[in-house]
Structures are given as structure tokens and as C-alpha cells.
Structure 1
Amino acid sequence: MDLVLNAADYYFFTPYIYPASWSEDDIFRQTISLLIITNLGAYVLYFFFATLSYYFVYDHSLMKHPQFLKNQVYREITFTVQSLPWMSIPTVSLFLLELRGYSKLYDDIGEFPSWFHLIVSVLSFLFFTDMLIYWIHRGLHHRLVYKRIHKPHHLWKIPSPFASHAFHPVDGFLQSLPYHIYPFIFPLHKVVYLSLYILVNIWTISIHDGDFRFSELLDNSGFTET
């Protein structure tokens, strides 16, 4: 995240926003800047790619499904817009730790033994995060937390791409946590990490652009929905 912050400082914050006397290394200034960048980036990614998916990928006939709610797209967007700033607060605390040098992110490709190791790091990132998200998601379905934290996301039984980030803030942060803790455990190039972070958000949108229910398979297997 320091790559993004450095660019924002150079082109925007330092010349136009903050007084010249306020050091770019000041932790309070960095926190404010990261909050702005994280929220702005999240909204841009969400609206840009969800809108593309909605108009060019999404099957609009799904909106005629009886379980598609009245004004659902508007409600998905509203839910997301209200939740993202709350998700950003704990996220920024982790970005701040990265910025202060506590992670294993690195700048120079020469710091890694070979391109092979770089590729392996990408694969391990995908494996590590997907595995943890599976268990986190499974835990969120526990009866003690499901109703308050995870159930709001399942309100959208026939989701549109705009449901992709429509989480309770705690739910949204917990399911993004593996992506943030990976570079504190394993080395990863900063550009690769930033690219993967963007791709993960696009992927999240892509898995909410269709009807992925499997009730028909269950019915054909002799089971019934509960």
C-alpha cells in the first residue's frame, strides 16, 4: 500500500491537501491518507467492475425470479456504500502496519531467489487465502454469529453483481482478513500483492453475477430444501 500512498502524496496530498510542515512519515497523517485511499479505491473498484458486470455479463432475466427482491439492486448498493467505510477502519490498521515495515512485502525483485519462487508465492497466496476464507465462511454460518453477522449477505438469494460487497462490516472484514495477513507471514512483492488485491475484488464481483444455487441438484438427489 505504500506504493499507492507515495504516489498520492507526491501528486495530490503534499502539494494540495496537507501543510508543507506536516511530514509524510507522520503516523496520524498516514492514517488519514490511508482511510481516504482505501475508501476511494474500494468505491471505484466496486462501482466500476460491478457496473461492467451488471451490463455486460449479468443475466437480467434473473431479476424476474420470485426471490429477487423489490428494488434489490438499489438496496445492495446502499448496503455496500454504508458498510465499506466501517470495513476500511480495521483494514487501514493492517495497511498501516505494512507501511511501518512490519510485513514481509518487498520492493526489489532481486530480493527474491528466482522468478520460480515469485510464481510459487502467488500460488501459495491463492491457496492460503482460499483455505482460510473457507473456514472463516464456515464459522460465520455458526448459529451463534450467523443471524447477526452473516445472514444480511444471504438476504440476496438471487444476487446481482452489486451484492458482491454487500456485507455486514464485520463479515466483510473477516472474509478479507486472509488477504491482509498473508504478507505478514510470507514474503511477497508489493506490486504482486497490490495486483492480487485488485483481482480478488474483481473475482468477488464475478461470483455474484449469476444464479449459483443448487436446489435442483438436491431435489434430483432425493433431498429437499430446508
Structure 2
Amino acid sequence: MDFHSKLQTTWTDIITTYRPGVVELVANAIVQTIGFVIPAAIYMLIDVVFPRFSQRHKIQAYRRQPTRQQILHCVKISLFNHLLVLALHGVMLYMKGFEHSFIISDAPIPSLTTFVGDFVFALLAREVSFYYVHRALHHPSIYAYVHKMHHRYITPVAFAAEYAHPVEHILANVLPIALPLYLKGAHALTLLAFVAFELWEAAADHSGYDFLKLPPAELHDLHHEKFRVNYGTIGLMDWIHGTDTVGWDRPKGDKAN
């Protein structure tokens, strides 16, 4: 029996044993933990367990790193946002009835071709939607009330990926990831896999390290340092709009180095 068949058998056992809404909620909690909380904690532990390695590979100067108190505050708010999303998800499923699910879970699992196609679609949809939401959050009439909170960490750490105003967390961190595949009608496993990937990417982008080079954390780290640059996630929309260079919004000849 190949991997696809084994996965199909396991998934069928799960959805026939438990109510669809329960499967969706529990799966979301597991994905949040595996995709973000554990990787973010590992990135944070590098500072403690491998301090010399940490100092060599930090993108920004070690003296600029947040204090222990600031990091603990960041972790607390980040975890609160995760619990908030889970609670809202649970309330929505409760109102709908746990016999039902918001995502497609009872169909055969997708083929590899379908999975890859949906994954690429989601990557592009997330890049486009996040870019414009993020640019909007930087508008002067909005920034001070919502997005300024996220930029408290000029030198980010992994948990800072979810350190945000609850409104921003929903609009910028949750919907651009989950909504495109939901509207497309993708299978639950595809959606869960993509959410896990994006959560890990968010932790890596904010980790302050770029020793893996994928994702290129330097791009978003520079955004936290300089603010008005690199609004997207993979760099595509910034390249299209020319916002991938510090000083893009200044007159020619007056760009920062």
C-alpha cells in the first residue's frame, strides 16, 4: 500500500469515527501547535542553548535584541491571539453544529497533482491579499491604532509573528491564509497542510535568523527595521510594485543605502 492509500485509509477512519466539526477544531489546534508554537519555541531556545551560534547568525546586531521581559510579553500576546482564533472557530462550529464542518473533509483526499496546484494557488493568493492588507495597515490613518503594535519589535523574534492587535491578527494573519483555499473548495488536508506551512514560515520570517535561507527571513526582518519596505511574504508583490528597496517612496537620488 502506497503513502496516498495509507493516508486515505487513516483519514477515512478519522472522519467516520469523529464528528466533522470536532475533527476540524482539533485539527486546527494541532496545526497551530505543530506549525507555529513548537517551531517558534525552538527558534527562541537557540538563544539559550546555543548562544555563540545565535550571535553569529542573528540578522540584526545582538545588542538590539529584545529583553527577556519583552520576549515573555510577546509570547503571552502571541499565544492569546492563537487561543482567540481557536475560541472563535469553536463558537462558529458550535453554532453550525459539530455534525457539520466548514471545510471539505468527507471527500476522497486530493491527488498529488491537485494538492500541489491548490498549494501554489494558495501561496500566490496569500501573497497578493497579505500585501494589500499589510500596505493598508501602514496607512497613517490606521497604523497608530492597529499595526503599530506589531512593529513594537524592531528586532523581531519568532513569536512576534503573531504579536498583533486582534483585528490585525484576523485580517492579516488568518484570512489571507485560510480564506482563498476555503473559497476554492480545497480539501481539508490541503488547507491544514498550507496553514501549517505558513505558520512555520511566519515564525521563521520573524525569528531573527537567516541561516536556513528559505524562507529568506532577511526580507521581513528588514521590514521591521525600516518599516516602509518589503510588505509581502515571498517578495513577488514588492517586486511588482517596486517596494522591495529601502527609500522606494523618496524622490530619485534621495534613497537610503
The TM-score, its normalising length taken from structure 2, stands at 0.61
1:108 alignment partner in structure 2? 108
Runs of 4+ in 1 over 4 A off after TM superposition: 6-10, 24-27, 36-41, 60-63, 91-99, 101-106, 214-218
Counterpart contact for 2:178–2:191, Cα < 8 Å: no
Counterparts of 1:93 and 1:127, CA distance in 2: 30
Shift of the alpha carbon at 1:208? 0.5
Equivalenced residue count is 201
2:63 alignment partner in structure 1? 65
Partner letter of residue 151 of structure 1?
Answer: K
Structure 1: gaps (5+ residues): 11-23
Structure 2 residue 185 is matched with structure 1 residue 187: yes
Counterparts of 2:206 and 2:183, CA distance in 1: 30
Counterpart contact for 2:19–2:100, Cα < 8 Å: no
Q: Note closer, same or farther for the CA distance 1:207–1:121 as it changes in structure 2 (3 Å cut).
A: same
Q: Note closer, same or farther for the CA distance 1:223–1:48 as it changes in structure 2 (3 Å cut).
A: same
Task: Report the secondary structure of 1:200's partner residue.
Answer: helix
1:137 alignment partner in structure 2? 134
Q: Note closer, same or farther for the CA distance 1:26–1:125 as it changes in structure 2 (3 Å cut).
A: closer
Counterparts of 2:180 and 2:63, CA distance in 1: 39
Alignment match of 1:174 (pick from 171, 176, 180): 171
Aligned 1:207-218 pairs, distance under 5 A? 207-210=205-208, 212-213=221-222, 218=247
Shift of the alpha carbon at 1:171? 0.8
Shift of the alpha carbon at 1:43? 4.9
Counterpart contact for 2:35–2:195, Cα < 8 Å: no
Partner letter of residue 255 of structure 2?
Answer: F
Q: Note closer, same or farther for the CA distance 1:121–1:65 as it changes in structure 2 (3 Å cut).
A: same
Counterpart contact for 2:20–2:101, Cα < 8 Å: no
Structure 2 residue 125 is matched with structure 1 residue 128: yes
Shift of the alpha carbon at 1:133? 1.0
Structure 2 residue 28 is matched with structure 1 residue 42: no
The TM-score, its normalising length taken from structure 1, stands at 0.68
Shift of the alpha carbon at 1:78? 2.1
1:74 alignment partner in structure 2? 72
CA-based RMSD of the aligned residues comes to: 4.0
Task: Report the secondary structure of 1:148's partner residue.
Answer: coil
Alignment match of 2:144 (pick from 143, 147, 166): 147
Structure 2: gaps (5+ residues): 1-9, 209-217, 227-244, 248-252
